[in-house]
Amino acid sequence: MARLFTAGSIVVHGIVIAGVFVVQLFAVGPLPMPRQPLMFEQPRFVTLNDIELPAPVRRSTASGPASAVAIGAPIVEPTSVTPETGFEPARGRVVDVDALIGVAGNGGTIDVGTVEGVSPPPLPAVRPVRLHHGIQPPRKTVEVAPIYPALARMTHVDGVVILEAVIDARGTVEAVRVLRSIQLLDQAAVDAVRQWRFTPALLNGEAVPVVMTVTVKFTLQDR
């Protein structure tokens, strides 16, 4: 009995499923209409408008000053072709050479030189360089001995103070900085080195400012 019920159920389900497919095959509705390309729908014609060109610049026939020099390319179409002589100036924008700094016009000729009232710019400052193999080092010409501080003498303080000195192109000591310090002797060493004088250091035959290391020795004579 159970087998008959199962077989009947399978048959009924098969009939229902087949009916659904058959209904779908015969239920044909209206087909969709294909879209038309937009480019063929309504053709439009493009109109071109003429652009007004500016009027040509009229050339002046009056002769300008002798110091005016014309430069640039021509902007007016020539009416004919003339043979070249080799002395034609360039036509175009006119520049007054008298207004240029350092240039003076004189009867059609241009003189390049110094213009009155215009001072040359100052030379850039040369930074001091450290001594190296290509520099001829400065030579000491004036040496001032340091004054031994009384407090350092009383406390029996001595030794060597190492300083860094900046010597300009004339051989004058511009600045002094302490590298190795002895507190009671530093100021006396700096004051003495500031009074020293040197020959200029030479680089390729020219005087240059340099940075060099100097030492000041303090020794107690009664020790």
Q: What percent of the chain has pLDDT over 70?
A: 61
CA 144 to chain centroid, in Å, comes to 48
Homologous superfamily (CATH) of 129-218 is TonB (3.30.2420.10)
Encode pLDDT of 99-141 as tens digits: 444 444 455 544 555 555 556 666 567 789 898 888 999 999 9
Instruction: Out of 10-14, 34-38, 82-86, pick the least confident.
Output: 34-38
Under 8 Å CB-to-CB from 4, ≥6 apart: which residues?
A: none
d(CA 59, CA 74): 11
Domain spans in the chain, listed from the N-terminal domain onward: 129-218
HEC profile of 143-164 = CCCCCCCHHHHHCCCCEEEEEE
Distance CA(182)–CA(155), nearest Å, equals 13
Q: Can you give the length of the chain in residues?
A: 223
Mean pLDDT of 164-193: 95
Q: Rounded to an integer, what is the distance from CA 113 to the centroid of its chain?
A: 31
160 vs 145, 171, 214, CA distance in Å? 13, 24, 10
- Write down the pLDDT at residue 187: 96
- Give the long-range contacts of residues 64-67, CB within 8 A, separation 24 or more: 64/94, 65/96, 66/105, 66/107, 66/108, 67/96, 67/97, 67/98, 67/105, 67/108, 67/110
Q: For the whole model, what pTM was predicted?
A: 0.45
pLDDT at 174 over 90: yes
Q: Report d(CA 117, CA 123) in Å as an integer.
A: 18
Q: Mind listing the pLDDT tens digit for each residue in 140-150? A: 999 999 999 99
